[in-house]
Amino acid sequence: MTHINKRPWLLYALVTTLFWGVWGAFIEIPEKAGFPATLGYVVWALTMIPCALFALRRINWKLNTETKNIGYGLLVGLTGAGGQLLLFQALRDGPAYIVFPIISLFPVVTIFLSMLFLRERAGGKAKIGIVLALVAIVLLSYQPPSQNSFNSYLWLVLAALVFFMWGIQAYVMKVANSTMEAESLFFYMAVAGVLLSPVALYMTDFSVPVNWGWKGSGMAAGIHLLNSIGALTLVYALRYGKAIIVVPLTGLSPVITILISLLIYSVVPHPVTLVGLVIAVLAIYLITE
């Protein structure tokens, strides 16, 4: 624990990885119970609010209102939340087994921008860990090919947009942390998420019955709160740590998802995913060493 306390970014990054991993293991429960992912987005945006208030309370409600910083915060929020909405559409039109691997590589964009403009560098072991993490992220996102046919390739364009948006989001998050408090940054992220909620509502097919009960909206609220807390700790992780290390590390959250699914649901991972799991463990060791 002393080792972690000397590097606060590591503690926050590990919390994000853990919470996002647990979120990934349980997020399908409300969806399978009849609560669509688009409404899940709205619930997620709402769960960002208590996290944002908690963060502001830590700085005595002194919200940063400089125009530049408001712009940073909204940009981070809109690229993250907007990417999620584009992902919904990409998965409606395209094959998940291609969409997810493309999107999962977004840390490459963050790493490139951070090395180019922020001059971030990593040590020998960490460099190897970063490369292995990128490989593992792709393998962990593997989906078995489906037999569906697709009439257009708009989904590919959307997947590419999400790839760039999420990569840029993490980079801007790091940049913004150098000009404003992490708490204010997260507040504007939450605002952006809520502002895009009407888009998610528009995308929802209300002709299909919606489960507004505990197993639907109720569980969605509890599960998405984990995602929101993870987003908050990610902001803190990027306040103290290098983006080229933090982002690939948190991208390994599917490791937690897979382990939980194995323990609770007895779901045996695909061989490709198992290889990714092994590589991910090695990557985590090298990055955190």
Confidence of residue 182 (pLDDT cuts 50, 70, 90): very high
Q: How far apart are CA 155 and CA 138, in angstroms?
A: 18
Confidence of residue 148 (pLDDT cuts 50, 70, 90): low
Average pLDDT over residues 238-251: 97
Does the pLDDT value for residue 206 go beyond 70?
yes
**In residues, how long is the chain?**
289
**What are the angstrom distances between the C-alpha of 49 and each of 154, 176, 201?**
33, 20, 18
Query: How many other CB atoms are there within 10 angstroms of residue 19's CB atom?
Result: 23
CA 106 to chain centre: 10
The pLDDT, as a whole number, for residue 147 is 65
Tokens of 107: 């840390």
Tokens of 215: 């197993």
Average pLDDT over residues 63-69: 97
Average pLDDT over residues 149-153: 71
- For 33-62, the pLDDT digits (tens) are 999 999 999 999 999 999 999 999 999 999
Lowest-confidence segment of 140-144, 203-207, 228-232, 233-237 by average pLDDT: 140-144
Does the pLDDT value for residue 201 go beyond 70?
yes
Does the pLDDT value for residue 151 go beyond 70?
no
Does the pLDDT value for residue 2 go beyond 50?
no
Average pLDDT value over all residues in the chain: 94
Q: How far apart are CA 159 and CA 279, in angstroms?
A: 25
Does the pLDDT value for residue 1 go beyond 80?
no
Q: How far apart are CA 274 and CA 180, in angstroms?
A: 41
